[in-house]
Structure 1
Amino acid sequence: MAEGEEDFSSLPLPDRFTHKNWKVRKEGYEDANKQFEKTPDESDPVFSPFLQDPALWKGAVADSNVAAQQEGLASYCSFLKYGGAQACVRTRGSTIAAIVEKGLPSTRPAAKASALEALLLCIELDKSEPVIEEMLPALSHKLAKVIAPALAALKGIFHNYGAKLVDPKPVLKALPKVFGHADKNVRAEAQNLTVELYRWLKDAMKPVFWGDLKPVQQQDLEKLFEAVKQEPPPKQERFTRAQQEAMAEASAAPGGEEEEGLAGEEYVEDDGGEMDAFDLAEPVDVMPKVPKDFHEQLASSKWKDRKEALDALYNAFNVPRIKEGPFDEIVKGLAKSMKDANVAVVTVAANCVDLLAKGLRKGFGKYRSLIMSPILERLKEKKQSVADALGQALDGVFSSTDLSECLEETLEFLKHKNPQVKQETVKFLIRCLRTTRDVPSKAEVKSIADAATKLLTESSEVVRSGAAEILGTLMKIMGERAMNPYLDGLDDIRKAKIKEYFDTAEVKAKDRPKPIVAPPKPAIPAAGKKVVGGKKPASGLKKPTATAAPPIEEPAAAPQSKPAAKGVPSKAGGLPKPGGGLTAPGAALKKKLGGPGGLASPQRRVVSPPSEEAPPPAAPKFGPGRGLAGRPIAKPTPVPEPAPIAPPATPHVGGLAAIERAELQELRAENERFTKMVEELRAERSKLNLQITELQNQNAQLIEDHTRDVLGIKAKETQLVRARSDAESAEQSVQKQQREIDRLKRELARALRATAISPPNTMADTASMGIPEMGSMYQDPISHDNYSQPRMGLHMGSRFESARPRSYVSASPSEEKENNGLESPGFSSRESALGRRKLSPTFGTGYSGMGSPTRSSLLGSGSASGEDQPSRVTEPAENWKRAAEVTSQLKARIEQMKARQGLNRPAAQR
């Protein structure tokens, strides 16, 4: 055994890896692990045999002896750790399948941990796709003890690296099969893996596999998901070598700090963006699902047909990811539907735009110019459901483009005359600023800030608040310093509101301001350290005077001006030697103070602050060697006592300092007063501007009201003019009708007069004809033609008396009243009627002639001779008498005729 052991240890590592004795192999694995740990870099020769023959590791990780396998897995982990990416790329094709099939199901915990670590190292050194590709066939293994550990390993991979680094789509597609496995351990591990994926993907993963699960499994998973929803968002716990190098570079950058390094880690971690259903789904060709008669139905005059066409399009677009195709005509039809009069059609069209934009993402950008303006124009719709659908469509359009492309049209619609359009456009711009990942340029920031500043003076409170939110969100992106120029002229109330929105705003594009602020940091501390920390007298004083940057060092040297002034006359008296040590500092101070007197230098106002003048007298002319820190030199206090001996120089300089100090204080006080005055004037100006704006708004409102009133007055005047013209035309029509009536009356009177002039048969003629004929005439006045004319006269007289309208009897009520006044009270109704007919200007003459029974009465009343007519007019009483006589005679004759007729009635009836 001893000889065999010696021989085994002398064998090369590749031979020991393939030895038939498991102990030799185990010792070979341990020896290789130690040698890997001692290597200086990845190019060490110890890695070469294993890189040339990767099959050595296949036997090591799948060793038939569990003890040797444990050491083989540990050795392979060490090989990957120290061998680098080359070690992973060369060997993973041979080892991963063996690790999944033999290493992960191991009964030893250490072996299982090493197997999982080997998989994680393979992902860390290169990428995850080859590892996942080699692991997925194990999920279809016939042994449940292989499938369950493989699922657990996948869970560990996603837990460490996250679903953003490791593509979850192949795993999600394989989940339904393992959920249907007969082994409960496999189903349990599948459930654990699904919960881990849900931590990263949330509901975005459901469309991939959720429909293939049983309802019971869905319910169980939903219960587990509820607990996950309460957890904080997961973070990547392990990083690839590429990410580690990027973070190291970020932390090692000049001027970089730990916070910036952490920011770099977060940037690397979030670089992939959020995972959603679009990233996990496969593109679907939706063109075959679009109805063939879509455009014909969309152009129909019936809104139901248009809505049905859009509903069918919505069902076709309702997929997580859409394959790119020729959607130009469809987008044009949707843009035309935005102008539809029916709000249901507009809502469905907006939903179709939203689905198409989210399904195409960047591919929808080329259709933005066709659809964005119609959607913004339709925002005038006040119904909230329609406004929400249009807002979602705009968000979908923005997600397919960026802020720069959408900004110009958005700013144009901020000036729209419709307040509803302006309000919804403000909300859309706020959402754009919140979700954009691109920091706007300076020109874009200026245009946005100017537009929002103008909206701060709008009459609508919603628009004013939206404008303040725009400025606050923009300040969150750009920083407070970059937004100060745009907020300078605003009043304090508006600034406070903008600051409030700035504190609560949540944006995604705030990485750009960091490098802008970072470069000044190394320059300022470096300059400060050189100036303040420099303790060499010459260099420390000359450099500040050359640059004229730090005024802090100069006050420290200011008190030296007094001894310097003292030393100047001594130097003029020919004593350079004793003051030789003070020559250089004195010269430097003279250069700083601008000459011997120290009054001509423009820097003197900066050099001599009052706070720094008082303490230095304790440090006399011996101090310049070390500045103000010359403590042992300050002990000989009797040295400054000779100062009062030379009064000509020191009082002069001290007096000038006091004057300058007083002047400086006055200037400071005046500066403070001026600053306060400026602030007050600014506040007053802002208030006045606000008042001016309010007055302008009131003036505009008054002008609008005045215009409305003027238009109303003009409308009323127009109506009045029209009414007057209508009344005049109606009056003219009435007058015309009245004239026509008068004319007709005159014509009728003329016609009656003409009939009255023709002499009818008199009563005497009738009497000569015999009584029976007269009786028969009165009995049946219509049946006998021989007596038609006299009968007609009597008959028409009674007919006109009973049936004639009042207007035809007399021309006016006054005439009728006048005629009635002349009537005798003893006359009967018929007689009065006959009398009225005689005196009537229209009917009386004609009918009295027709109705007179005797020739005498006819001649007295019915003749139209020129001699009798004036007499009737001038002597109405005589006419009435004649009429009464004629009437009485007529009545007597009628009574006689009735009596005779009664005697002859039987014969007449026969």
Structure 2
Amino acid sequence: MADGEEDFSSLPWPDRFSHKNWKVRKGGYEDAKQQFEKTGDESDPIFIPFLQDPGLWKGAVTDSNVAAQQDGLASYCAFLKFGGPAACARSRGATVAGIAEKGLPSTRPAAKASAIEALLLCVEMDKPDPVIEEILPVLSHKVPKVIAATLNGLTAIYHNFGCKIVDPKPVLKVLPKVFGHADKNVRAEAQNLTVELYRWLKEAMKPVFWGELKPVQQQDLEKLFEAVKQEPAPKQERLTYTQQMEAEAGVGGDADGGEGDGGEEDYGDDDAGEVDAFDLTEAVDVFPKIPKDFSEQLASSKWKDRKEALDALYTALNVPKIKDGPFDEIVRGLAKSMKDANVAVVTVAANCIDLLAKGIRSAFVKHRSTVMSPIMERLKEKKQTVADALGGALDAVFIATSLTDCLEEILEFVKHKNPQVKQETVKFLIRCLRTTREVPSKPETKSIADAATKLLTDSVEVNRAGGAEILGTLMKIMGERAMTPFLDGLDDIRKTKIKEYYETAEVKAKDRPKPIVGPPKTAAAPAAKKAVGTKKPLGLKKPAAAPAPPAEVPAPTASPSKPATRSIPSKLGGLSKPGGGLPTPGGALKKKLGGPGGLASPQRRVISPPSEEQPQQPPVSKFGMGRGLAGRPIAKPSPPSEPAPAPAAPALTGIAAIERAELDELRLEKERFIRMIEDLKSERTRLNSQVIELQNQNAQLIEDHTRDVLSVKAKETQLVRARSDAEAAEQNVQKQQREIERLKRELSRALRSGAINSPTGMPDQFGMPIPDPASIYQEPSNGHSPLPRTGLHMGARFDSRPRSYASASPSEEKENGLESPGLNRRKFSPTFGTAYSGIASPTRSSMLGSGSASGEEHSTRSAEPAENWKRAAEVTSQLKARIEQMKARQGLTRPPAQR
């Protein structure tokens, strides 16, 4: 049996790990573990077979023999611990699922503990996401015992590393499935895992899976959550390999080393309360849910159509996380809705902006300038529901952006002329200062403080209180000392008010001043750097070599003016160290070059020359007697007659020369960076000047464009007026032409009527002979319509106005002798067809009358005296003259040849 064991131990590792005898496998696991623990680093040859064939560990962690499996899991833990990240990355794909399926449900406590430790080491040494991906399929196993053990392993992982290191989203998605399992042990472990996740995520985890649980399960979990709420914030109990390296680097770079103990607490503090529902949910594409005719409905003239479109958009956007897309047109429509006259439309539009900003978070930065100003302009609305919706939209926009992005517009609206807008903007600025996680820069702090100081003298009490609260909240962020310059000119009452707000303010961002680096840290930093960058000579580890010179530093304090010239005796009683300015490299170099033989060498002669206190001892070092009591001066050393820097030159060899070269290289690099910074500053100044110049040119172009637009509009106005005047003149001309035509017809009708009533050559009612109608008209030579050669009827009177005629007045009839006591006056007056008929035409009844009337008229005419004939002739001539004047005014005068 002993011979068999010897043969088994001499077998290669793959053969021992896959041997059919479980005792051989068990012995192989134990031997491998012992070999891993004895390795010096991760590059030891013992790891090579297992890195080349990671499948060996799959059989080890799932060994059919429980005793061998226990040793296999322990061996795998040692492999991960001493093999480093490379061992984990190569082997986890073959082992994690087997550990969850066979190791976690083990009945042996040691095997189960090793299985959990192996999973934790896999998370610690590399990334946790691949480990979780390998574990989750085991939750669908047929055996409830395996599922419960796997849930217990997940609980251990989240308990040790927290939800900031291990992503909780994949596990939250499968929780409803395990809560619906028939086995009570599975449901109990699911509750434990959920409570552990709640310790880290709080209420942010509920939107992911809470709705899929039964009400009874929700009630049970709520009771468990109540106990967790009273506990302090959880802290990460186990650091990953990367965090360990960062912590070690931080401790090594610190001269004091006083902050090394708080590394774990720093990691734990960052994990508490930082995860929200947005980080846990998947983004949803909302564009298929938005109506296709959204833009058309939003542009409708009916407010109900606009509100229905916004309601449909609100339903589509009401998801925890929105996938980014082309929302530009939708955002422009929402910004335009801020100016809507209907407050219901404004409220729904503000709610849509709120959901969109919360849904896409940082991607909303490009839409901020489109919606922020319209929202703040609408703050003038006094209705509380509208004001709340607008405030929520502004808060969501701020959360999606930053204080720097929003500050300029906020400060502009703080000076708004509308008191309601100013008041709501001040409240919004206070909320921004409370929730921001970025400390304002010094220019931003000055701008905020100046605006708040002006509010302290506002006429409205709410704004004055808001200014004090702004200063108090800002003081909470920046500190009292930083705010002192802004409070100097204020009275005691206002300072007291600001102090009250400062004490009660709750902020998330606090300015942490940079620590002042003291001289001890500055002196120790190069030493630490040299210790890191210098290789250990000849494999000897002498950590006490560097701290030795500081232990004897108090010796040269008697003469502080010349610290470099004092000799510090070594522990071996040899000569004093040359090059007092570089004690550390000299001591390290002595230890490096001082071999066990104790023989002098050329390098030793170079490094240990006679000190400046003993100029007469060069022959001693020549014969190799530089050490011992004989080489140590008994009397007090005399002051040096020459400066000391000369003998220090030989010490600048070996390591000192390397350090000097590195120092020179760093100085050159520093100068190069300084020049680069100066170039960048000059380039920035030049670009700023170009920006200012372009802005001025842009402003000039805008002004020119505005002036041109106004000029074009003025010309267009003049053109419209000229067109309207031309149309009016054309209408007037047409009206004049129609009036002329009508006058012609009336004149023709009057002449024809007189010709019919009186025979040709017969005397008319005035005793004048009636001309022949044919002789009244002549053919026009210029294309005008024919005009009568004679005037109107003797009984008609032409008015002096160009387009109207009136009947003869009663006084003219009396003068003309046309009125007699027995004669009806209406029969002698010409009648008009309408009120607008421009010329008088005697009717047939007035000219001829009835039979009896005409006879009566004839008898009356014959009875009138002869002197009336002269008067009638004068009236006729006057009428003719007036007709000629009328023709001349209308441009209808015939040429003299036709007269």
**TM-score w.r.t. length of structure 2:** 0.56
Partner of 2:512: 513
The secondary structure found in structure 2 opposite 1:513 is: coil
Q: Does 1:39 align with 2:49?
A: no
Alignment deviations for residues 538-566 of structure 1 (CA, whole Å, 9 cap, x no partner): 644799xxxxxxxxxxxxxxxxxxxxxxx
* Structure 1 Cα separation of the partners of residues 260 and 398 of structure 2: 31
The secondary structure found in structure 1 opposite 2:340 is: coil
* Structure 2 Cα separation of the partners of residues 214 and 423 of structure 1: 47
* Structure 1 Cα separation of the partners of residues 241 and 156 of structure 2: 18
Larger mean CA deviation between 458-467 and 410-419 belongs to 458-467
Partner of 1:762: none
* Structure 2 Cα separation of the partners of residues 388 and 524 of structure 1: 55
Larger mean CA deviation between 481-490 and 440-449 belongs to 481-490
Name the aligned partner's letter for residue 335 of structure 2: A
Name the aligned partner's letter for residue 516 of structure 2: A
Partner of 2:379: 379
* Structure 2 Cα separation of the partners of residues 310 and 541 of structure 1: 83
Partner of 1:122: 122
Question: For residues 230 and 69 of structure 1, do their structure 2 counterparts lie closer, same or farther at Cα, with a shift above 3 Å needed?
Answer: same
* Structure 1 Cα separation of the partners of residues 245 and 84 of structure 2: 13
* Cα deviation, residue 86, structure 1: 0.3
Alignment deviations for residues 706-753 of structure 1 (CA, whole Å, 9 cap, x no partner): xxxxxxxxxxxxxxxxxxxxxxxxxxxxxxxxxxxxxxxxxxxxxxxx
Question: For residues 417 and 252 of structure 1, do their structure 2 counterparts lie closer, same or farther at Cα, with a shift above 3 Å needed?
Answer: farther
- Give the conservation status (yes or no) of the 8 Å contact 1:255–1:521: no
* Structure 1 Cα separation of the partners of residues 417 and 312 of structure 2: 36
Give the gaps of 5 or more residues in structure 1: 544-910
The secondary structure found in structure 2 opposite 1:232 is: coil
Identity %: 75
Question: For residues 161 and 86 of structure 1, do their structure 2 counterparts lie closer, same or farther at Cα, with a shift above 3 Å needed?
Answer: same
Name the aligned partner's letter for residue 190 of structure 1: A
Partner of 2:776: none
- Give the conservation status (yes or no) of the 8 Å contact 1:255–1:518: no
Alignment deviations for residues 296-345 of structure 1 (CA, whole Å, 9 cap, x no partner): 33334443333222222111110011112221222122112222333332
The secondary structure found in structure 2 opposite 1:321 is: coil
Partner of 1:17: 17
The secondary structure found in structure 1 opposite 2:63 is: coil
- Give the conservation status (yes or no) of the 8 Å contact 2:81–2:121: yes
Question: For residues 267 and 92 of structure 1, do their structure 2 counterparts lie closer, same or farther at Cα, with a shift above 3 Å needed?
Answer: closer
* Structure 2 Cα separation of the partners of residues 523 and 28 of structure 1: 51
Count of matched residue pairs: 539
Question: For residues 540 and 465 of structure 1, do their structure 2 counterparts lie closer, same or farther at Cα, with a shift above 3 Å needed?
Answer: farther
* Structure 1 Cα separation of the partners of residues 473 and 129 of structure 2: 40
Larger mean CA deviation between 442-451 and 457-466 belongs to 457-466
- Give the conservation status (yes or no) of the 8 Å contact 2:96–2:134: yes
Q: Does 1:438 align with 2:442?
A: no
Q: Does 1:465 align with 2:453?
A: no
* Structure 1 Cα separation of the partners of residues 433 and 256 of structure 2: 28
**TM-score w.r.t. length of structure 1:** 0.56
- Give the conservation status (yes or no) of the 8 Å contact 1:434–1:506: yes
- Give the conservation status (yes or no) of the 8 Å contact 2:235–2:267: no
Alignment deviations for residues 372-404 of structure 1 (CA, whole Å, 9 cap, x no partner): 011111222233332222121111111221111
- Give the conservation status (yes or no) of the 8 Å contact 2:234–2:268: no
Give the gaps of 5 or more residues in structure 2: 525-549, 564-899
Partner of 1:448: 448
Partner of 2:337: 337
Partner of 1:308: 308
* Structure 2 Cα separation of the partners of residues 65 and 482 of structure 1: 70
* Structure 2 Cα separation of the partners of residues 53 and 269 of structure 1: 40
- Give the conservation status (yes or no) of the 8 Å contact 1:247–1:261: no
* Structure 2 Cα separation of the partners of residues 113 and 255 of structure 1: 39
The secondary structure found in structure 2 opposite 1:517 is: coil
Q: Does 1:476 align with 2:483?
A: no
Q: Does 1:285 align with 2:285?
A: yes
- Give the conservation status (yes or no) of the 8 Å contact 2:289–2:316: yes
* Cα deviation, residue 517, structure 1: 3.0
Partner of 1:132: 132
* Structure 1 Cα separation of the partners of residues 43 and 371 of structure 2: 60
Question: For residues 290 and 198 of structure 1, do their structure 2 counterparts lie closer, same or farther at Cα, with a shift above 3 Å needed?
Answer: same
Partner of 1:240: 240
* Structure 1 Cα separation of the partners of residues 356 and 153 of structure 2: 38
Name the aligned partner's letter for residue 312 of structure 2: A
Partner of 2:147: 147
How do 1:252-331 and structure 2 match up within 5 A?
252-254=252-254, 258=258, 262=262, 266=266, 270=270, 274-331=274-331
* Structure 1 Cα separation of the partners of residues 146 and 465 of structure 2: 62
- Give the conservation status (yes or no) of the 8 Å contact 1:104–1:150: yes
Name the aligned partner's letter for residue 407 of structure 2: L
* Structure 2 Cα separation of the partners of residues 433 and 462 of structure 1: 18
Question: For residues 267 and 145 of structure 1, do their structure 2 counterparts lie closer, same or farther at Cα, with a shift above 3 Å needed?
Answer: closer
* Structure 2 Cα separation of the partners of residues 302 and 267 of structure 1: 57
* Cα deviation, residue 150, structure 1: 0.7
* Cα deviation, residue 95, structure 1: 0.7
* Cα deviation, residue 227, structure 1: 3.0
Name the aligned partner's letter for residue 285 of structure 2: D
* Structure 2 Cα separation of the partners of residues 540 and 381 of structure 1: 76
How do 1:634-673 and structure 2 match up within 5 A?
none
* Structure 2 Cα separation of the partners of residues 37 and 260 of structure 1: 26
How do 1:671-710 and structure 2 match up within 5 A?
none
The secondary structure found in structure 2 opposite 1:469 is: helix
* Cα deviation, residue 73, structure 1: 0.7
Alignment deviations for residues 773-809 of structure 1 (CA, whole Å, 9 cap, x no partner): xxxxxxxxxxxxxxxxxxxxxxxxxxxxxxxxxxxxx
Alignment deviations for residues 814-857 of structure 1 (CA, whole Å, 9 cap, x no partner): xxxxxxxxxxxxxxxxxxxxxxxxxxxxxxxxxxxxxxxxxxxx
Question: For residues 470 and 330 of structure 1, do their structure 2 counterparts lie closer, same or farther at Cα, with a shift above 3 Å needed?
Answer: same
Name the aligned partner's letter for residue 450 of structure 2: D
The secondary structure found in structure 2 opposite 1:386 is: helix
Q: Does 1:197 align with 2:216?
A: no
Question: For residues 416 and 257 of structure 1, do their structure 2 counterparts lie closer, same or farther at Cα, with a shift above 3 Å needed?
Answer: farther
Question: For residues 522 and 409 of structure 1, do their structure 2 counterparts lie closer, same or farther at Cα, with a shift above 3 Å needed?
Answer: farther
Name the aligned partner's letter for residue 234 of structure 2: P
* Structure 2 Cα separation of the partners of residues 338 and 324 of structure 1: 23
Name the aligned partner's letter for residue 416 of structure 1: H
**Computing the radius of gyration over CA atoms, which structure comes out larger, 1 or 2?**
1
Name the aligned partner's letter for residue 382 of structure 1: K
Name the aligned partner's letter for residue 93 of structure 1: G
The secondary structure found in structure 2 opposite 1:490 is: coil
Name the aligned partner's letter for residue 384 of structure 1: Q
The secondary structure found in structure 1 opposite 2:64 is: coil
The secondary structure found in structure 2 opposite 1:282 is: coil
The secondary structure found in structure 1 opposite 2:162 is: helix
Question: For residues 303 and 539 of structure 1, do their structure 2 counterparts lie closer, same or farther at Cα, with a shift above 3 Å needed?
Answer: farther
Alignment deviations for residues 402-456 of structure 1 (CA, whole Å, 9 cap, x no partner): 1111110011111112232222222222222232232222221221222122222
Name the aligned partner's letter for residue 166 of structure 2: V
How do 1:534-553 and structure 2 match up within 5 A?
539-540=559-560
* Structure 2 Cα separation of the partners of residues 153 and 482 of structure 1: 50
Partner of 2:806: none
- Give the conservation status (yes or no) of the 8 Å contact 1:362–1:401: yes
Partner of 1:424: 424
Alignment deviations for residues 153-205 of structure 1 (CA, whole Å, 9 cap, x no partner): 11111111112221122212222222222222112212222222222223333
Alignment deviations for residues 752-774 of structure 1 (CA, whole Å, 9 cap, x no partner): xxxxxxxxxxxxxxxxxxxxxxx
Alignment deviations for residues 60-97 of structure 1 (CA, whole Å, 9 cap, x no partner): 11111111111111111111111100000011011111
Question: For residues 7 and 523 of structure 1, do their structure 2 counterparts lie closer, same or farther at Cα, with a shift above 3 Å needed?
Answer: closer
Which is helix-richer, 1 or 2? Answer: 1
Alignment deviations for residues 9-66 of structure 1 (CA, whole Å, 9 cap, x no partner): 4444443322222222222222222222221211112211211111111111111111
- Give the conservation status (yes or no) of the 8 Å contact 2:457–2:464: yes
* Structure 1 Cα separation of the partners of residues 76 and 362 of structure 2: 44
- Give the conservation status (yes or no) of the 8 Å contact 1:255–1:519: no
Question: For residues 461 and 100 of structure 1, do their structure 2 counterparts lie closer, same or farther at Cα, with a shift above 3 Å needed?
Answer: same
* Structure 1 Cα separation of the partners of residues 452 and 561 of structure 2: 51
Name the aligned partner's letter for residue 513 of structure 1: R
Partner of 1:346: 346
How do 1:868-907 and structure 2 match up within 5 A?
none
- Give the conservation status (yes or no) of the 8 Å contact 2:237–2:264: no
How do 1:60-139 and structure 2 match up within 5 A?
60-139=60-139
